[in-house]
Structure formats: structure tokens, C-alpha cells
Amino acid sequence: MEIRKRLGVGDKIGLTAPAGPTDEGKLNKGIAVLKNLGFQVKVGLTCYQNEGGYLAGPAIMRANELNQMFADPNIDAIFCLRGGYGAMQILPFLDFDMIANHPKMLIGYSDITALHIALQQKSDLVTIHGPMPASDLISASDFTIQSLLSVLTNAHSSGRIENPPGEIMECLVPGKAEGILTGGNLALITSLLGTPFEINTKGKILFLEDVGEEPYRIDRMLTQLALAGKFDETEGILLGSWTDCQSSNLNSFQVKDVFRRIIAPFGKPTVMNVRAGHCEPAITLPFGVPVLLQAEEGKLSYFNPQSWL
């Protein structure tokens, strides 16, 4: 996996909207946050688009802008404005060979999962599962911002990937696993099955999270991954935040019950409550880098973070 360089004060951020739109107020606040962090910002035209109420312009426009930002030597990293829906639409129009030859960090999560998987597998790129300017960064806690900056600047003093204070990574299946970190939003991962961008979990540590899904829907998506052999192939599993995924029906299985029924029987080292995804505060995770999971101890760490910058 390849990445261009660590970021520093004064570096230029390309801001693009590969999925959903936002309003002018949130856009301006997001730009201000990036500038306050010490970066210059080049704002893409997609950030001002709204097509059909849920897309930041036509798919070809969004894809072309992302291609251009990767090709632009004056842009040091690319932030996705927000998630929503639409990133899958641009995958057929991305120039993966060009992107592989111009590696740089792409930051986002949720619907941006489609780009994480495609860029890792088609361009051999490290990508960053982290907060986005028009949503999370506007009101992010100090922990969330420092976690993001530690990944962007490669300031990993301990090599550990640690939860916010007071949040414990809970062991679901004990054991130790090594592998390349991959994954993202569960709904996006299952939506890519059967396409040229289907996730490859062989030899990987698989991270999963979602928001606003009833336990039976999570059950259905996890069962789909199981039937597709994705849990057989993976080395270990990280279960992230599952915000607003609890059932109000007291007779229903809850999310942890679903994990115990579907994931635990595969016997792969697994931890729950990895505070990344649709939560605050949140960890920033670099996808495409080797990590070590020690599930029983609730520990997650990098293998030599200097090697991926």
C-alpha cells in the first residue's frame, strides 16, 4: 500500500463532494475548520452542487473532480465534504491507474466506504476513515480532532490505536490476529458484493460499523457477508459504533445478540465497541495498513506506522 506523504501546516487540502450535498452554512463552517487546523483549502465545484436533493451533482462531474484532485500536484490530501449517498455511482469513472501513480490521502467515512474499498483494491492506496468537514468536524471534540491529526501527520508515539477515555474495546472472541485493516460501513460493504468492487477480506482485519439500522437489518447484512465467505477469509474483526441501532422491542435481539449469533461462531479474534464511525468522540483509522489485534486484552496497534508514510 502506498501513500504520498504526511501532512503539515500550510499543506493544501482538496475539498470535494463525491456523494451527497450540503448547504452553504455547513460548507463555510467546514472550510473554516480546515483552515483553523493550519491547512490551505481548494474547494471543488461539487461542494456547491445539489442534484435531486441527495446528490452533489452528476456522477461524472463528481468522478472527474476527484480524478483531477488526485492528479493535481499542488493538492496534498483530499477531504470528502460529507457522506450521504452517491459514492458508488462514481466508481466506474475513476482513473485507478492514474490515482495509483499520484498517491495521496483521501479522508471520509460512511458512504465514502465505497471509495475506501475501491482505492485500496484498485489503486493499492492507504485511505483514511475519519471525520468530514461539513458534518463531524464542525462540532468535533478535541479527542476526535487529535486522533485525526495523529494519523494525517503520522504522530503515533505509542503505536496503539486507542479508544476515547472510559471506552473499553470489549472482547467477543479471544485470540490474536494480524492483517491489513479494511472495511467501513456495513450497508455499503454489502451493497458492493457481486460488483467489481466487492471487498476482499482475505488476510485482512475487517472493521464494520453502521447507523440507524434495526438489529434484524444488521442480521441480514451480516448473514449476507457470511454467505459470501467474508468471515471465513478474514483474520480478525473490529466492530465499531452502532449508533441508533437498538430495537425498541424488548422481545427483539439487540445488536450484540446478533454479533454473538452470527460473528462469534466463526471463531475469528473479535472486539466490540471500537469507537469509530457514526459516533463522537471517534477514532480515525488508516485503512490499508497492517495492524495487530489482541482481542482478549482489547488492544489494537500498528505495525511500524513509519512504513506506510
Residue 92 carries which side chain, given as an amino acid letter?
P
| Phi-psi region at 231: left, alpha or beta (left = phi > 0; alpha = psi -120 to 50) | alpha
Beta strand 299-302 with 290-294 is: antiparallel
**Catalytic choice (65, 102, 110, 213):** 110
The question of whether 156 is a catalytic residue gets the answer no
What's the rounded Cα separation, in Å, for the pair 140 and 132?
10
Q: Please give the angle made by the CA atoms of 187, 189 and 192, to the nearest 5 degrees.
A: 110
Give the CA distances from residue 186 to residues 44, 90, 99, 226, in Å, rounded to whole numbers and listed in that order.
Answer: 28, 19, 25, 12
Q: Please tell me the distance from the alpha carbon of residue 49 to that of residue 260, in angstroms, as a whole number.
A: 43
Q: What one-character DSSP code corresponds to residue 45?
A: G
Distance of CA 111 to the CA centre of its chain: 9
Active site residue 278: yes
Identified catalytic residue from 209, 213, 235, 241: 209
Residue (of 36, 113, 40, 103) closest to 80 by Cα position = 113
Structure letter (DSSP) for residue 289: S
**Which residue among 102, 116, 129, 278 is the active-site one?**
278
Contact residues for 174 (Cβ-Cβ < 8 A; gap 6+): 269, 295, 296
Q: Is 296 a catalytic residue?
A: no
| Residue 18 near residue 62 (C-beta atoms within 8 A) | yes
Return the active site residues. 110, 209, 278
